[in-house]
Structure formats: C-alpha cells, structure tokens
C-alpha cells in the first residue's frame, strides 16, 4: 500500500516537480496547496500519511511551515508525518523543528528532491514515525562542536561518524550498512558515545536523535 502525501509550496513548478518524483517512487499525491490555509484544508479533507511543506511560505515567508506543523500536530496528533523542506541549510530551524519531541518529523533540503532514493527514503521514514535530519544540516553542527573544547573532543573519529548518522535519524542497522561494520559494533560505539556525552541511550531512534541534537545545540 502506497503512502498518501499532501504537498505545500508557493511555487507551482516546485510542487509539480515534487509530485512527479513522488509518483515515480510509488507514492499517492492526494493534494497540493500554495499556502498554509490551503494546506490545512487539504489535510482536514484527505488525512494523508505525510505532509511535505516549505519552511517559508506566504504571507511573510519566514516560518509559516513550522507554524503549520504545530497546527497539524494540535489537530491531528502524530498520525500524520510532516517533512519540512528548505532551500537553505538553517540549523536553527531544524533544531526548533525537532525540539518538541514529536515522532514522524523531518527536515530536508530541497536539493535532496533531485535524488529520488533519498527523498523516497525520507518520506517513508517520516510516515513510519521516524525522524529525518538532512546530512547537510548535521555536518556543520558536528563540525562547529568539534572545534570547541568540549566533550565531543573525547569521541574517536569513528564515534563522530556514528554520531552524525545517528543525528540524521539512522537506525543501528542502517549505520552498520553505511560504515560496513556489524550492528554489534555500532551498538558498542553508541554506548561509548552516550557514556562520553553523559546521555542515556533511549529505546527508540527518535529519542536518540533528540538527545544528540540537544547536545549539539547546547
């Protein structure tokens, strides 16, 4: 069964492009909107599995996407995943987006739309209640913290690689595949990371991501 998706972006060209890419990946695009009001009406009438929306939309082009996300959560709870898209790497918005601990939430750069596999994977993960953070956002955060005299300096290079993938929302199995190691090796690195950062391991990937992002933001 394909996931049902609603799109919101003020650019018709962008909406049509995303809709075509998602349709090619097997998703069912059940509606499109050019502003927040239209989006909320569509979400009410179609009850999609996932909403993809721009972070900056009319009328002010500031944080309408985040405010729309808050409204969707208030009205429908975590049953609808939300993937926020942006043209730019805006770490502060990504941290704000994830700070409330909601499952099924993601932040992705629009450049990722051109990669069918990346976009489809992000939509599916959000639909399943997972968390997605664009690697282009995670990377600068890690680099900024790496250059400061703090606890991140205690991590080995491999542990920093694992931490970066954790912050993207990857499971231990996915991290193992990326780094060509066994899941048990990833578990060992994860335990060491949480120990060095004084962060307790959480029972689900989403909480792990929030813990890592909270540390990076501190």
pLDDT averaged per 10 residues, the chain (length 218):
92 92 94 95 96 91 88 90 85 66 80 83 90 78 58 81 81 90 90 75 57 59
- Provide, for the chain, the percentages of residues in helix, strand and coil under a 3-state DSSP scheme, each rounded to the nearest 5: 60, 15, 30
The pLDDT assigned to 117 comes to 86
pTM of the model: 0.71
What integer pLDDT is reported at residue 18 of this predicted model? 92
Query: In the chain, what are the domains?
Result: 4-132 (3.40.50.2300), 137-217 (1.10.10.10)
The per-residue pLDDT for 202 is 52
Among residues 24, 17, 31, 20, which one has the least CA distance to residue 2? 24
* Integer Cα distance of 30 and 154 in angstroms: 48
How far is Cα of residue 146 from the mean position of the Cα atoms in its chain?
Answer: 22
Hey, is 85 helix, strand or coil? strand
DSSP assigned state of 67: H
How does DSSP assign 101-167, residue by residue?
--SSEEEEEGGGGG-HHHHHHHHHHHHTT-EEE-HHHHHHHHHHHHTSSSGGGGS-HHHHHHHHHHH
């Amino acid at each position: 069964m394909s996931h049902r998706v609603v799109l919101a972006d003020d650019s018709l060209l962008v909406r049509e492009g995303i809709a075509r890419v998602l349709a090619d990946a097997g998703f069912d695009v059940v509606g499109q909107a050019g502003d927040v009001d239209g989006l909320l009406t569509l979400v009410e009438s179609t009850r999609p599995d996932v909403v993809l929306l721009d972070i900056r939309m009319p009328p002010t082009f500031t944080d309408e996407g985040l405010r729309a996300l808050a409204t969707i959560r208030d009205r429908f709870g975590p049953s609808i995943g939300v993937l926020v898209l942006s043209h730019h790497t805006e770490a502060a918005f990504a941290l704000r987006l994830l700070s409330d601990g909601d499952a099924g939430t993601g932040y992705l750069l629009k450049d990722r739309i051109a990669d069918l596999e990346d976009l489809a994977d992000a939509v599916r993960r959000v639909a399943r209640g997972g968390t997605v953070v664009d690697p282009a956002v995670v990377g600068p955060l890690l680099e900024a913290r790496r250059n400061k005299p703090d606890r991140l300096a205690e991590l080995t290079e491999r542990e920093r690689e694992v931490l970066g993938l954790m912050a993207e929302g990857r499971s231990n199995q996915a991290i193992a595949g990326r780094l060509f190691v066994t899941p048990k090796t990833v578990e060992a690195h994860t335990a060491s990371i949480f120990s060095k950062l004084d962060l307790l391991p959480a029972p689900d990937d989403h909480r792990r991501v929030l813990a890592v992002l909270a540390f990076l933001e501190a």
